[in-house]
């Protein structure tokens, strides 16, 4: 069965509730106060069926003090039924409600000219002309206008036919690539069931027993039972009026304006970037730092205009803006909103959410807001690319992109795949997979070449730069967890090589100038020839008439390459000399020895004997036992 949600709109006492009852047989006024006062105070709901089409009605109050409730009811509707009384014509809330449904992106609907039995045909014609004039510059221009009387039944069958025809041609709801999403407009307790919420299902499908999350608070629950207009259902989908019996939550845990969604990477925000239209009827211009009231779906929150791409914004103009919220909301690109001023209360602006997770722009950069990409589905690749580029080298996980756009992760693969095919976006082999702009990696490769060259400049010999140290010098802090992936990417691109955890020039295991190569051979030979009476680096520098800093660097290089060993942090000795000591100890023919015996055997001073014995202990050649050393001989 196909579903469509129609919301009423119009001035108080123009007959919206009576009309819905005439169409459906259902009285939407359920509260005792509504019955007593004869006016609608809260949202009411009804439905009718025609073939495979189920039409859901949301009846809204028309009083000027209840426009916020009307806006909550208008969220998620597919069509509007504008109601105008023939005996009064267009009134203030007629105009305001029309502006609201236009700002909420409702594409069209029909007009019911009610109380037709109270006026003559000439008055009906005048009222019809007035309505057509009102609608001429709106998306409702050309909408059918049907004169009706709920009391006599005049026009009711015709209006029903018009609504069914229009509903049959309405755009389908998003059920396949979106999570389940429902805007909560009622919360109550039902005997024997517990907490129940109702709302219009906006996206996706939900089955009884499925887990759900209540946003923005993030409370987890389960859809214990599902109902649509009192009938229990195993599954519901976008475009229906759905009641959900929530498991494990009380009525104080859920509020009007919350959203029920399939669990996922959906993040609340306190700053929305929007395309804003200031109504031509707005009493004055809009500027930054102005306090407003933002209505999004069924939520109502105090807010402040932070940035405007053009300021001040004059009545009738549009601009991209950033609006800070007093409390968090969950919004996605394409969501609609309405702005009202708190005092004096009036609807003066509205528009579309472009991004719920952009950083706050500085005032000097506010002009850049004009360049944000479209949020239309056909523009998703460009939108995703802009997010990936903005994330810089920190890259962005696929999951976060899906959460920001409001679609299932499996459904984001196609637009991302097209981006990767262009070569402008690259994937990093991380878990989860992250995406980064090719332009960022290209600049990183250039920076890596320059940094490697500058850090090795003036050094005759170097084993390279420790990979982690090098990564920290070329990557921003937010990208450091991805250092291994970026270093491998840079190696693949020929910007550097990596040898034994050190960053080195391409094609080399170390950095070495011709002079450095010659000095390295000489330094190593000096230490090899010195045997167990090794010189200090300062003595080597004097012997070779070289700069001490250069010799220090060469010695460090030889230690890293395993040609020299550094004992007790300062004593340098050639590794082959130490190996000769190892072999001599193992072939000594004693089970243990004193330090004095060791010194005598190798002709060592205590200054050299103690560090070498420490090395033998570390190499598991000897084991210290008091003042003696036990020789460890391994079998086999």
Q: For 308-321, what is the mean pLDDT?
A: 92
Asked whether 408 and 402 are in contact (CB, 8 A), the reply is yes
Beta strands 53-59 and 2-9, pairing class: parallel
- 373-390 pLDDT, tens digit per residue, is 888 888 889 999 999 999
CA distance 339 to 608: 83
296 DSSP 8-state letter: E
Average pLDDT over residues 416-442: 93
Q: Active-site residue 591, yes or no?
A: no
> How far is residue 346's CA from residue 244's CA, in Å, rounded to a whole number?
33
Given the residues 3, 8, 14, 17, the one annotated as active site: 17
- Check residue 481 and give its pLDDT: 95
With 0-12 / 13-18 / 19 or more C-beta atoms within 10 angstroms meaning exposed / middle / buried, residue 4 is buried
What per-residue confidence (pLDDT) applies to 37?
64
pLDDT for residue 353 is more than 80: yes
Whether 173 sits among the annotated catalytic residues: the reply is no
Whether the per-residue pLDDT at 61 is higher than 80: the answer is no
Distance CA 85, CA 131 (A): 11
Domain with CATH 3.40.50.300 in the chain: 2-168
> In 51-193, where do the E strands start and end?
53-59, 79-85, 109-114, 145-147, 181-190
Q: Provide the angle, in degrees to the nearest 10, between the axes of the packed helices 483-492 and 438-456.
A: 80
In whole angstroms, what is the distance from residue 110 CA to residue 163 CA? Answer: 7
Contact 40, 29 (CB under 8 A): yes
- Which of 111, 134, 131, 119 lies closest to 86 in space, CA to CA? 119
pLDDT given for residue 65 in this prediction: 64
CATH number of 526-631: 1.10.10.10
Q: How far apart are CA 156 and CA 149, in angstroms?
A: 7
Q: Computed from CA positions of residues 192, 193, 196, 202, in that sequence, does the dihedral angle turn out positive or negative?
A: negative
Which residue out of 14, 16, 97, 511 is catalytically annotated? 16
> Taking the model in full, what pTM does it have?
0.80
User: pLDDT band for position 32 (50/70/90)?
Assistant: low
Omega cis (within 30) before 523: no
Backbone CA torsion sign across 264, 270, 276, 281: positive
Strand bridging mode 109-114 / 145-147: parallel
| CATH class given for the domain over 2-168 | alpha beta
pLDDT average, residue stretch 369-373: 85
Contacts of 406 (CB under 8 A, 6+ apart): 178, 179, 181, 203, 266, 332, 333, 334
Band of pLDDT at residue 13, cut at 50, 70 and 90: confident
pLDDT over 60 (residue 636): no
Q: Each residue of 555-573: pLDDT tens digit?
A: 988 998 899 999 987 899 9
User: For domain 181-261, which architecture applies?
Assistant: Beta Barrel (2.40)
Query: Exposure string (b/e) for 607-636, b if CB count within 10 Å is 16 or more?
Result: ebbbbbbebbeeeebbeeeeeebebeeeee
Look at residues 619, 519, 534 and name the one whose alpha carbon lies nearest to residue 571. Answer: 534
What is the band of 366 on the pLDDT scale with cuts at 50, 70, 90? confident
Query: For residue 508, what pLDDT is reported?
Result: 79
- 8, 11, 13, 59: which is the annotated catalytic residue? 13
- What's the CA angle centered on 569, arms 566 and 574, to 5 degrees? 15
pLDDT above 90 for 627: no
pLDDT score at 435: 96
Respond yes or no: is residue 63 known to be catalytic: yes
At the top level of CATH, the class of 269-371 is mainly beta
CA distance 9 to 77: 11
In 380-430, where does DSSP find H-type helix? Answer: 380-390, 398-405, 413-422
Residue 514 has pLDDT above 90, yes or no: no
16 included as an active-site residue: yes
For CATH 2.40.30.10, list the domain ranges present in the chain. Answer: 181-261, 269-371
Residue span(s) of the chain under CATH 1.10.10.10 come to: 526-631
Average pLDDT rounded to a whole number, residues 302-306: 96
So what's the pLDDT on residue 615? 94
Q: Note the pLDDT of residue 583.
A: 94
The more confidently predicted of residues 512 and 103 is 103
């Amino acid at each position: 069965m196909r579903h469509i949600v129609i919301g009423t709109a119009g001035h108080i006492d123009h007959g919206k509730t009576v009309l819905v009852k005439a169409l459906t047989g259902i009285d939407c006024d359920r509260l005792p106060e509504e019955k007593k006062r004869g006016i609608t105070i809260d949202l009411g709901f009804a439905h009718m069926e025609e073939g495979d089409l189920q039409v859901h009605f949301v009846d809204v109050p028309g009083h000027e003090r209840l426009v916020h409730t009307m806006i909550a009811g208008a969220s998620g509707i597919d069509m509007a039924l504008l109601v105008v009384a023939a005996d009064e014509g267009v009134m203030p809330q007629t105009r305001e409600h029309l502006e609201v449904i236009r700002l909420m992106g409702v594409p069209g609907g029909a007009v019911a000219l009610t109380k037709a039995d109270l006026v003559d045909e000439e008055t009906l014609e005048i009222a019809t002309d007035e309505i057509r004039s009102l609608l001429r510059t709106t998306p409702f221009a050309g909408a059918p206008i049907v004169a009706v009387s709920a009391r006599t039944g005049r026009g009711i069958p015709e209006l029903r036919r018009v609504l069914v025809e229009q509903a049959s041609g309405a755009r389908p709801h998003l059920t396949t690539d979106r999570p389940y999403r429902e805007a909560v407009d009622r919360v109550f307790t039902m005997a024997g069931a517990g907490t129940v919420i109702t709302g219009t299902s906006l996206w996706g499908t939900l089955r009884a027993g499925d887990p759900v999350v209540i946003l923005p608070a993030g409370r987890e629950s389960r859809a214990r039972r599902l109902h649509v207009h009192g009938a229990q259902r195993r599954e519901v989908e976008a475009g229906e009026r759905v009641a959900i019996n929530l498991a494990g939550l009380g009525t104080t845990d859920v509020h009007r304006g919350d959203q029920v969604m399939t669990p996922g990477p959906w993040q609340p925000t306190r700053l929305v970037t929007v395309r804003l239209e200031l109504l031509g009827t707005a009493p004055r211009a809009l500027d930054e730092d102005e306090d407003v009231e933002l209505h999004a779906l069924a939520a109502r929150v105090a807010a402040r205009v932070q940035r405007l791409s053009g300021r001040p914004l004059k009545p009738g103009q549009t601009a991209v803006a950033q609006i800070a919220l007093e409390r968090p909301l969950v919004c996605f690109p394409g969501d609609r909103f309405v702005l009202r001023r708190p005092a004096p209360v009036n609807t003066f602006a509205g528009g579309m959410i472009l991004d719920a997770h952009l950083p706050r722009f500085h005032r000097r950069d506010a002009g850049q807001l004009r360049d944000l990409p479209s949020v239309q589905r056909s523009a998703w690749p460009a939108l995703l690319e802009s997010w990936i580029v903005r994330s810089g080298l920190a890259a962005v996980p696929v999951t976060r992109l899906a959460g920001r756009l409001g679609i299932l992760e499996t459904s984001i693969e196609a637009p991302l795949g097209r981006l990767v095919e262009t070569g402008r976006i690259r994937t990093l082999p991380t878990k989860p997979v992250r995406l980064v702009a090719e332009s960022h990696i290209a600049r990183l490769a250039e920076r890596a070449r320059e940094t490697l060259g500058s850090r090795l400049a003036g050094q005759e010999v170097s084993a390279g730069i420790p990979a982690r140290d090098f990564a920290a010098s070329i990557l921003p802090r937010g990208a450091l967890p991805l250092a291994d992936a970026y270093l491998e990417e840079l190696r693949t691109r020929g910007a550097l090589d990596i040898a034994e955890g050190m960053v080195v020039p391409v094609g080399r295991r170390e950095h070495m100038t011709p002079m450095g190569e010659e000095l390295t051979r000489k330094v190593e030979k000096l230490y090899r020839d010195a045997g167990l009476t090794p010189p200090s680096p300062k003595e080597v520098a004097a012997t070779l008439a070289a700069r001490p800093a250069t010799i220090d660097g060469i010695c460090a290089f030889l230690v890293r390459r395993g040609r020299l060993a550094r004992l007790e942090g300062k004593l340098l000795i050639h590794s082959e000399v130490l190996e000769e000591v190892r072999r001599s100890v193992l072939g000594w023919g004693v089970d243990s020895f004193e330090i004095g015996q060791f010194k005598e055997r190798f002709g060592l001073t205590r200054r050299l004997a103690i560090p070498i014995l420490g090395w033998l202990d570390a190499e598991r050649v000897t084991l210290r036992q008091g003042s003696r050393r036990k020789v460890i001989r391994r079998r086999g």
